[in-house]
Amino acid sequence: MAIATPQAPSSARDATRRSVAGSVRAPQLSASRLTTDVRLPELPEHIDARAYDGASLLRETVAGARLTPHGALWLLEHADTEAIREAADTIRAGRYPDSRATFIIDRNINYTNACVIKCTFCAFYRLPGSPDAYLRSMDNIIERVDEAIAQGATQIMFQGGHDPDLRIEYYENLFRTIKSRYDLTLHSLSPSEVHHIARYSRLSISETLARLKIAGLDSLPGGGAEILTERVKREISPLKNSAAMWIEIMDEAHRQGLRTTGTMMLGHVDTFRDRVEHLIALRDSQDRAHAALGPGTGYRAFIPWTYQPDNTVLGRSVPGRTSSEDYLRTLAVSRLVLDNVDHVQGSWLTVGKATGQDSLRYGADDLGSIMLEENVVSAAGVVEKCMTNDAMISLIHDAGRLPARRDTTYRVLETFSKGDSGFVANRVHA
Ligand code: SF4
């Protein structure tokens, strides 16, 4: 299957020139609705190696005891890697005894790269008014959706910069147009984009989500979380919404019946304590969703990936990538902490196919998308640039798992078994 490589922004017809950067003054959302405190003041920066017996801690966790923040920090700092891996894999196998590992075909359409947020880890954005800032035309977007459908995509992600010229009507028109032409899922707009739309459209978060949902938004990806502590946010993305606001937007999305995913970008200025606070904030948010709305609500999946430093401001002070072992340990601990989130997704884009394949032994039950298009993370120099359908199926099969293509809801559409002349698709759902 042909895969589109990450694409440079735009033909001339696709580029829309912008007004002077920063010329639009952003209204502030009231902070009075922010009730979520993501800090864990009692959690130390480090924890004594003698504080826990690792074997007991992991045995109890696998048996169903909820991992405390202190226990999670201890595991990240001190536990034997193989022991964490085995515990996470046992939990994964208990949830999915058919040994499936799923993936999805989708396309991430970055409708604009114009952005005023200036995250220091981002190599994708251009300031509004820059010669290479673009806003894709509707015709161009429809072409991209057509290409995605032709390759079997069931989901489209719209994710882009925080463009001060766009208001909610732009997104409503976009979603309505796509939904009127195609039967596919719109898994689109990170909480920080929702925050931006609300600010510039002078709407509450609640009104913004409600209107987007009516226009066709099906679910929200968890982009823009990075690390959900205010210290890290201040350091790497000071103009972005706070960690508390990210959680608040997800809580509101859940209240409105929208499913979401949680993410983490790790391996930059974050400490193990930051990662634990992030995981606990997600777990608490999911608890609130389940308490108020019942099972089958809230976050569908957790997706960690690693920071990519190339071409970024942050790359000057943090030039290196974290190790595969650090990524896999964090992934495994995520599976152990997030006992109320169904799926954990391994990344192949940022850590490479081999480590992506390894993630299936560290608690991951999904390898995400074959990504017909990805521009944001790729701009910062990813390890892998593309993955074909066949390569994904082989990768999963060679890991000893059952390759299964899914939709956004994680419903399995088809599984793949190896025949004499390649893989054979076995249809499960149309
Ligand atoms: S990560 Fe998103 S919000 Fe931050 S600068 Fe890049 S495009 Fe803008």
Domain range list for the chain: 65-427
72: part of which helix (H) or strand (E)? helix 69-78
CB of 254 sitting under 6 A from ligand 1: no
CB 261 within 8 A of CB 246: no
Ligand 1, pocket-test mutation among 18, 115, 157, 377, most atoms within 8 A of CB: 115
CB of 162 sitting under 6 A from ligand 1: yes
pLDDT of residue 349: 87
For ligand 1, the distance from its centroid to the CA atom of residue 379, given in whole angstroms, is 12
For ligand 1, the distance from its centroid to the CA atom of residue 9, given in whole angstroms, is 15
CB 368 within 8 A of CB 103: yes
Q: Which residues of the chain have pLDDT under 50?
A: 1-25, 30-34
CB of 125 sitting under 6 A from ligand 1: yes
For ligand 1, the distance from its centroid to the CA atom of residue 299, given in whole angstroms, is 22
Closest CA to ligand 1's atom 2:
161
CB 103 within 8 A of CB 380: no
Distance CA 338, CA 262 (A): 10
CB of 111 sitting under 6 A from ligand 1: no
CB of 115 sitting under 6 A from ligand 1: yes
Cβ burial, residue 129 (10 Å; 0-12/13-18/19+)? middle
What are the backbone dihedrals phi and psi of residue 422, each rounded to the nearest 5 degrees, phi first? 115, -170
Closest CA to ligand 1's atom 7:
161
Which class is domain 65-427?
Answer: alpha beta
Closest CA to ligand 1's atom 3:
117
Ligand 1, pocket-test mutation among 192, 312, 375, most atoms within 8 A of CB: 192
pLDDT of residue 29: 54
Distance CA 99, CA 15 (A): 46
Distance CA 36, CA 51 (A): 29
Distance CA 105, CA 156 (A): 9
CB of 334 sitting under 6 A from ligand 1: no
290: part of which helix (H) or strand (E)? helix 272-293
CB of 127 sitting under 6 A from ligand 1: no
Residues 6+ apart with CB under 8 A from 82: none
pLDDT of residue 386: 76
Buried residues in 332-359 as b, exposed as e (16+ CB within 10 A): bbbbbbbebbbbbbbbbbbbebebbbbb
Closest CA to ligand 1's atom 1:
122
pLDDT digits (tens, 9 = 90+) for 203-226: 999 999 999 999 999 999 999 999
pLDDT of residue 388: 87
Ligand 1, pocket-test mutation among 112, 116, 117, 307, most atoms within 8 A of CB: 117
- Return contacts of 389-398, CB within 8 angstroms, 24+ apart: 389/1, 389/105, 389/151, 389/152, 390/1, 390/422, 390/423, 391/353, 392/103, 392/367, 393/423, 394/423, 395/348, 395/353, 395/356, 395/357, 395/367, 396/101, 396/103, 396/357, 396/360, 396/367, 397/423, 398/357
Place of tokens 């890290």: 232
- Residue 195 amino acid letter: H
Distance CA 71, CA 228 (A): 19
pLDDT digits (tens, 9 = 90+) for 267-283: 999 999 999 999 999 99
